[in-house]
Amino acid sequence: MPKNQIGSIMHFFHIGQFDVVVMMHTGYSKRPFLKDVVSVINFDAPTTYNIYKENGQLVTEESGSVLTLF
């Protein structure tokens, strides 16, 4: 997906136009900036602890969650 299209999607997510964003971890040279993330759902297990930790750091609220499905 082109960078400007990703930027547009992130913009609309940040202003509240979208409630859900589905994003694949692989394929990005630089992960798009996300804010106000309440939940992260992994549909495959992160390959390293550091990737798992990065996903957890996306959650900004104390009541947020990270769910990994195998």
How far is it, in rounded angstroms, from Cα 62 to Cα 23? Answer: 22
Q: Where are the domains of the chain?
A: 3-68
Partners of 37 in the beta sheet? 59
| Ordered mean pLDDT values, 10 residues apiece, the chain (70 residues) | 80 86 68 74 81 76 78
Partners of 39 in the beta sheet? 65
SS3 content of the chain, % helix, strand, coil (to 5): 30, 15, 55
CA dist 26 to 2, 10, 44, 50, Å?
Answer: 15, 17, 12, 14
